[in-house]
Amino acid sequence: MTLEALTNGAAEEPELRDRFIQTAQDETKRLSRLIHDLLDLGRLEAGITALEQQTVKLKSLINRAVQAMETRMKSSSVGIHIDVADIELQGDPERLLQAFLNVLDNAIKFSAPNSKVFISAYKEGSQAVVKFSDRGLGITDSDMPHIFEQFYTADRSRKGSGTGLGLAIARRIVEAHGGSITATSNGTGKGATLTICLPLESRSLV
């Protein structure tokens, strides 16, 4: 429709033309992200993506995720509070970073303005537990069973310009490391917490 408008004369009006071109660029970027995420998830689901196995310093990895999202947090007026223990585990650092970024992106997206996202990590038995808590609307009972599904369209988990695959990809990465990811609601208007559990010991990654 945007290209049609340009063809039908909108190109003769500079302000209208610029707005339509920006819309077309945004849509192209969104479709590109969608294709990339679909391919990524497909490879993970098929088990054909080779995951590296290295010693991962959890605090360093979470700091990288926070730094990468700094501009996004500022534009959304969302702060951050980090309480992460010094933990080392075995895994693929870049894939785990991708999972953390996707979960953090979700937390920022649904945070109330001028609130904070809380990230904590600690050892529990033979696992590392990482929690991402926001102060948004929370998750309804009807949405809760579905938020890690591909393309789920509930407002809380799939609102905005995302592809609807971020949490699905995060889940697959975590499960490929022998871990789990779960969600809990902190109550209406009190936000939600996504919890990632990862084994500390090495395992055969798929």
Tokens of 121: 């990590």
Over residues 61-74, mean pLDDT: 93
Q: Report the percent of the chain where pLDDT is more than 70.
A: 66
The residue with greater pLDDT, 89 or 3, is 89
Q: What is the pLDDT of residues 78-135, one digit of tens each?
A: 999 999 999 999 998 988 998 999 999 999 998 999 999 999 999 999 999 999 999 9
The reported pTM is 0.74
Neighbours of 116 (CB within 10 A): 17
The residue with greater pLDDT, 152 or 79, is 79
Alpha-carbon Rg for the chain in angstroms = 19
Return the pLDDT at 199: 96
Distances (CA, A) of 99 to 27, 91, 127, 183, 201: 24, 12, 17, 14, 19
Contacts of 82 (CB under 8 A, 6+ apart): 62, 63, 66, 119, 120
Look up residue 168 and give its amino acid.
A
